[in-house]
Amino acid sequence: MIGGNESCTAGPIPMSYLTCLTYILGEWTGVEHIEDYLSYAVYLLWVLFPLAVVFLLPGVLIILLYISILLLHIYKRKNELKEAYSNDFWDGGKQMLATLWDGHGRIWHGYELHGAENIPEGPGLIVFYHGATPADYIYFVARLLIQKKRSCLVVADHFVFKLPGFKILLNVHGVMHGPKEECVSALKNGCLLAIAPGGVREALFSDEMYTIIWGNRKGFAQVAIDAKVPIIPMFTQNVREGIRTLGGIKILRTLYEHTRLPLVPLYGGFPVKLRTFIGEPIPYEPNVTAEELTEKTKAAVQGLIEKHQKIPGNIFRALMERFQTQKKDD
């Protein structure tokens, strides 16, 4: 057995481990001067490693989502015999996932929630700006459940319901397709409901300028009018610095408009500071039109962006804010 500081030999010439390995590899492949190719490969690995990391980090969110699904399945199997004796079978499961996601938000982003007192005791429609991923909304829901013991339903894009294994997660957390009648019914039953009018288009194709991309969508406003509930604007600071997209590439925008599938690559996963701000509610007015309420809501969300977000967004600045000890005032 060769000791740690010994060398191996090829014929009469002593060689170090690395040289020995290179020699053996060259003999095996028959490639001359293989050490030059290996040096080039190591150089490429060194250059491309940071790039690979920023594209792989967003996968952590996917892993956490599937961990959440696994935990729900475990919880279901463990407690299915108690279902007949419980008012809400999933209460414990929701608390478990809230703890998981709130812990991730605190550790990775120093997540803060401001303005929770603006959420009414009764029903309300939360309207928020959509980042590249809904991670900030998940952190908000987790903190809301832990602090206020309240759940919040949400309207999601149709493709979410086609993701493998997601059915149990979507059902437990009240994720809806979003027909107007179903939304109105949920609000009339006293629920909180959240929606991002910009949806996937805003998630993928907005940028560090935090441009609101709602198009002509005003269905959410009609839902609030029909249900006679207030609208609560919401925005998360630095949400586009945590994870960004390649949505500025025109061919990807064209591809999305033709397929309606989110095929735009994401990158980042940076531990930037995230703060969610809840604005003052826009009260129900019986004589307001959907168009007028849409404009009011858009102005309220834009106001939160202008007040709490430095534009253009900057990843380095957002990283520095993560390590500031002083909390931001509401």
Q: What residue type is assigned to position 126 of the chain?
A: I
**177 catalytically annotated:** no
User: How far apart, in whole angstroms, are the C-alpha atoms of residue 40 and residue 51?
Assistant: 17
Among 104, 109, 130, 173, which one carries the catalytic annotation? 130
Question: Cα angle at 85 between 84 and 91, to 5 degrees?
Answer: 100
d(CA 200, CA 156): 9
Question: 277: helix, coil or strand?
Answer: strand
CB atoms within 10 A of CB 291: 12
- State how far the Cα of 48 lies from the Cα of 181, in Å rounded to an integer: 50
Question: Residue 268's closest CA among 50, 4, 47?
Answer: 50
* Residue 152 main-chain phi, psi, to 5 deg: -140, 125
Q: Can you read off the two tokens belonging to residue 197?
A: 């009018």
To 5 degrees, how large is the angle CA 266–CA 267–CA 268?
A: 135
C-beta of residue 194 within 8 angstroms of C-beta of residue 126: yes
Residue 278, strand partner residues = 234
Of residues 245, 244, 220, the one with CA closest to residue 300: 220
Q: Which two tokens stand for residue 265?
A: 């690559």
- The residues carrying an active-site annotation are 130
